[in-house]
Amino acid sequence: MEEKKERVAIFIDGSNFYHSTKNIEAKGYKIDLKRIIDELARARKVETFYYTALLDPEYNLEKYKEHKEVIEDLKKIPNFKVILCDMRKINIGKKYQYEVKGDDVYLAHDLLIGAFDDLYDVAIIASGDADFIPVINTLRKRFKKRVGNAYFRRTSSFKLRQACNFSVNMNMVVGKLLEKENKKRPASPKR
């Protein structure tokens, strides 16, 4: 009889992920989300949910087009769902500030519905937001799900990690993937 493969659901706070990786990409490195997902899934059956909002085209049409293209590329990843939330425009004097709204609620909702419908065995939350702790406690106690926190040091909540069964340092994961990528590249000729 074939052993049942463990099912993993990864829930990514897109805004948190973007702000945590933009400095890495600014240094010229490409973050490959598919490879990160594969690393987190470790050959288990995986489904990924990515929570974000479209940028305001009136503010910067070029950035809006770039972001929309990134979202379309993400949708090509197998078993990957993009959940579009709202972008709130806040007037601060003569400037505007933008904030993604509803992403945490959608993420928490999908965590609970997924557990209720038994769609996963393990949930991995890629966020640093301690607001998820009550949901994590419910997943672990009521639904007997294993829950992990994939975190970046800069945006991490210690309490969130403590509420989970395990945690994964994303700085280490990204560093490991970048190291593998650098080994594949031919050495540049010395001058």
pLDDT in tens, 59-110: 889 989 999 999 999 999 999 999 999 998 888 888 888 889 999 999 999 9
Per-position b or e across 12-47, b if 16+ CB within 10 A of its CB: bbbbbbbebbeebeeeeeebebebbbebbbeeeebb
Under 8 Å between Cβ of 15 and 100: yes
Integer Cα distance of 171 and 107 in angstroms: 22
Integer Cα distance of 161 and 175 in angstroms: 20
What's the pTM value of the predicted model, to 2 decimals? Answer: 0.90
Per-position b or e across 92-109, b if 16+ CB within 10 A of its CB: eeeeeeeebebbbeebbe
Q: Which residue has the higher pLDDT, 155 or 14?
A: 14
Instruction: Using CB atoms within 10 Å of the CB of residue 82, give its burial: 0 to 12 exposed, 13 to 18 middle, 19+ buried.
Output: middle
Identity of residue 127: S
Question: Dmax of the chain from CA atoms?
Answer: 67
Report the candidate in 108, 103, 111 with the shortest Cα–Cα distance to residue 51.
103
Convert the pLDDT of each residue in 123-133 to its tens digit: 999 999 999 99
Give pLDDT, residue 169: 96
Work out the average pLDDT over 154-178.
93
Under 8 Å between Cβ of 100 and 90: no
- N-to-C CA span, the chain: 60
> Sorting pLDDT into bands at 50, 70 and 90, what band is 184?
low
